[in-house]
Structure 1
Amino acid sequence: MADISTTSTSEEGYTTVSRAGDYELTIDATGGDGPDPNAVLVADYASCFIPAFRVGGQQEGHDDLGKITVESEADLDDDDDLTAIRFEMHVEADLDDETFDAIVERAEGICHVHSALREELHADIDVHGGQF
């Protein structure tokens, strides 16, 4: 039996409705009726990285990082394949760069999406503390 089961259906055109449990997400290859698959992947990566970053913070002795926002950017080649991903992280906690680097390193080992991506697509991550 599978650990994850989803259903994706396209009635016509390039729009697909995907169901994961009780949740539904509309994805459109053209970006007209919803985000395109690459945007969904980048958002999914950031959504996975934030809780991994929080766990990494706890492992480094920082239980309360406060609010965290990730501004993501990605580059595409001429075939619309992802070639680079960047995260600009804004964290309420005001920690030094060395501590943030240690937390990022731990988060990279925890985030399942990070582990699933080929290495050249791992996000280039900048963290800024004392935000908000």
Structure 2
Amino acid sequence: MTSQIPSTDVLKSQAKRLRADLASQGKAVSHAATLEMVAHQWGARDWNTLSAQASAPTHGWTPGDRVSGNYLGQPFKGIVKAAKLSGSGMWSLTLRFDTAVDVVTSPHFSNLRRQVTAVVGADGISPRKTSDRKPHLALDPR
């Protein structure tokens, strides 16, 4: 197989979504059975084989972690208030800034934010971009 196998967290999320989809079609399946189905989709003999081959867990964030970076082009330091990994490997992060960040570039007015929620990849970079093609949120590497 040429694709890199994602982390077990991502694989388990796939199994959870598969189970929900099957249930919506009236097909009750156990979580263990959907783990086996996901393993077969990835070309593995069974779940244990796949989980042993899975990549290391993606870079993760947990509430309380200190972070820094740029939000809408403004540098910040803050804390992770909430973090959730999606099945696609993206993270939804709620950040609380130590000092409010001005999210407006106009010299005529300001809009200060102390807390934001954004989606980032495992690299800490938001896929959403500003009009000048810079990411909304870019976390500094740890």
* TM bucket normalised to smaller: under 0.3
Tell me the TM-score normalized by structure 1.
0.28
Tell me the TM-score normalized by structure 2.
0.26
Structure with a larger share of its residues in helix:
1
